[in-house]
Amino acid sequence: MCKANINTAIKKLSFERRGFFTLYLEDGRVLSVPLRNYPDIKRLNTKQRNSWTILDDQFFTFIERPEVFYSISDIMKL
């Protein structure tokens, strides 16, 4: 995972929609992503999923599971 030339930042992460996670970007884009594409995130329990944090505006991880780590580029498949 590397920092790509992305001109936006992660605003927040949500797990409200069953089977998906939603990434809200500062530029207004909203990315809804099937959890089946990210089995390591899918395996997290509710408490672990809700412990997400943003790093350097471009990456997110989970405080309770820091080995689960993704960037905007990873999610957008850039």
| Of 15, 20, 8, the residue nearest 71 (C-alpha) | 8
Please tell me the distance from the alpha carbon of residue 36 to that of residue 17, in angstroms, as a whole number.
13
- At 77 the pLDDT is 84
Q: What is the mean pLDDT of the chain?
A: 91
- At 6 the pLDDT is 72
CATH code for position 36: 3.30.2020
Count how many residues are written for the chain. Answer: 78
Please tell me the distance from the alpha carbon of residue 78 to that of residue 74, in angstroms, as a whole number.
6
Does residue 35 lie in a domain region? yes
Does residue 48 lie in a domain region? yes
Does residue 36 lie in a domain region? yes
Domain count for the chain, please give it.
1
Does residue 1 lie in a domain region? no
Check pLDDT > 80 for residue 21. Answer: yes
- Its pTM surpasses 0.75: yes
Does residue 66 lie in a domain region? yes
Does residue 4 lie in a domain region? no
Tokens of 28: 């207004």
Mean pLDDT confidence for 25-52:
96
Does residue 68 lie in a domain region? yes
- 29 lies in which domain range? 10-76
The owner of tokens 């990456």 is: 59
Q: Bridge partners of 17? A: none
